[in-house]
Amino acid sequence: MNKEHRSFRILVVLAIAAVIAVLGVGYVLSKENSHKTEEEPNSVTATSTEATAPKATDTSTAFRLISLAKANPYGCYGRVGSTVYVGSINSEVVYTEIPTDALVVPNADADTFKDISPYGICFGVDKNHVYRNAEVLRWADPKTFKIIGYIKPGPVLFLQNGNALVTYDVAGANADELTLGKAYTVIPSGDPSTLKTITGAYDFSSWAADKNNVYCKGKIVAGADPSTAKTIRNGRDLQITVDGETQALLDGGCTLVD
């Protein structure tokens, strides 16, 4: 074989190798692009699923207090996740577990629940109900229910429910009754919008008044004119006009004298 013929064969072989190399690179690039095309829809799907996932509910396992108004440090209610509990709860304690005496408040709505307990007398309210301890007060309207007065000794609470004035005898024989008519008493002539407790020389007193009545320990003082009520003897007594005569309730109590 002459020299020229060998050179021609070498050139042919090199040309064929170059073509094969080009075709190989093209095939590799084509496979990579195909692989990316297959992966991209999955990536988009994952992002879409993540964006439309429902909001997680509160699954915290830590017991935490349900906040009270700052003026009232004596609470009763706490929660774990979406469950509400009632018990002997100290607002100054950081709890690591549910208090041993705590009871579940059935069906309470934890996200709207408010602790309105005065001085450790357990009352709560959510969007659906008013609660005494863990029980529902069926007659109470959660939209309008308020505790508007605290009378001691007793104690007796003045409650507002709609436009009605209701008293609650906390320590009475029927204190556990949840219906109106025993521990909870509607005052037909009472006016919750004008009710005020009257404190004189004592931290708490037995007296209150609204535009229509004077009250002592939650009971109407018959014939008393609320517009005449004023404390005397440095706040120890309450002077009032009863049936046109000036009288007084003595020593923060309900004893009426001329």
Split into its structural domains, the chain has a count of 1
pLDDT of residue 214: 98
Distant-in-sequence, close-in-space partners of 95: CB < 8 Å, separation ≥ 6: 62, 63, 64, 65, 78, 89
Q: Write down the residue that tokens 């109590």 correspond to.
A: 253
pLDDT of residue 70: 57
Within a domain: 113? yes
pLDDT of residue 200: 81
pLDDT of residue 42: 39
pLDDT of residue 234: 92
Domain extent at residue 105: 56-136
Within a domain: 123? yes
pLDDT of residue 94: 78
Within a domain: 179? no
pLDDT of residue 67: 74
- The answer for 181, left when phi > 0, alpha when psi is -120 to 50, beta otherwise, is left
Going from the C-alpha of 31 to that of each of 18, 24, 26, 37, the distances in angstroms are 20, 11, 9, 10
pTM metric for this prediction: 0.73
Within a domain: 210? no
> What's the residue count for the chain?
258
Within a domain: 116? yes
Within a domain: 214? no
pLDDT of residue 100: 87
pLDDT tens track of the chain, all 258 residues? 554 555 555 544 455 555 455 445 444 444 444 444 444 433 333 333 333 434 334 456 678 888 775 556 678 999 999 999 999 887 777 788 888 889 999 999 999 999 999 988 999 999 999 999 999 999 999 999 999 999 988 899 999 999 999 999 999 999 999 999 999 999 999 999 999 999 888 888 899 999 999 999 999 999 999 999 999 999 999 999 999 999 999 998 999 998
